[in-house]
Amino acid sequence: MIREILVYPNKILREKSHDVTVFDEKLHQLLDDMYDTMIHKEGIGLAAIQIGVQDNVLIINLVDEEGFQKFENLHEIINPVILEKDGLTTYQEGCLSVPGYYDDVERAEHIKVSYYDRHGSQHIKEFTGLISIAVQHEMDHLRGHLFIEKLSYLKRKKFEKDWKKQQKAGK
By annotation, the residues acting in catalysis are 138
Element (H, E) at 161: helix 153-170
CB 82 within 8 A of CB 109: no
**Residue 133 is a binding residue for ligand Y12 (CB under 6 A):** yes
**Least Cβ distance, residue 120 to Co ion (angstroms):** 26
**16-24, 75-83, 90-98, 111-119 -> range binding ligand Y12 (CB under 6 A):** 90-98
**24-32, 73-81, 86-94, 109-117 -> range binding ligand Y12 (CB under 6 A):** 86-94
Binding footprint of Co ion on the chain (CB under 5 A): 95
- Measure the CA–CA gap between 55 and 4, rounded to whole angstroms: 16
Residue 158 has what DSSP assignment? H
For residue 65, the number of C-alpha atoms closer than 13 Å in the C-beta half-sphere is 0
> Footprint of ligand Y12 on this chain (CB under 6 A)?
42-45, 91, 93-96, 99-100, 130, 133-134, 137
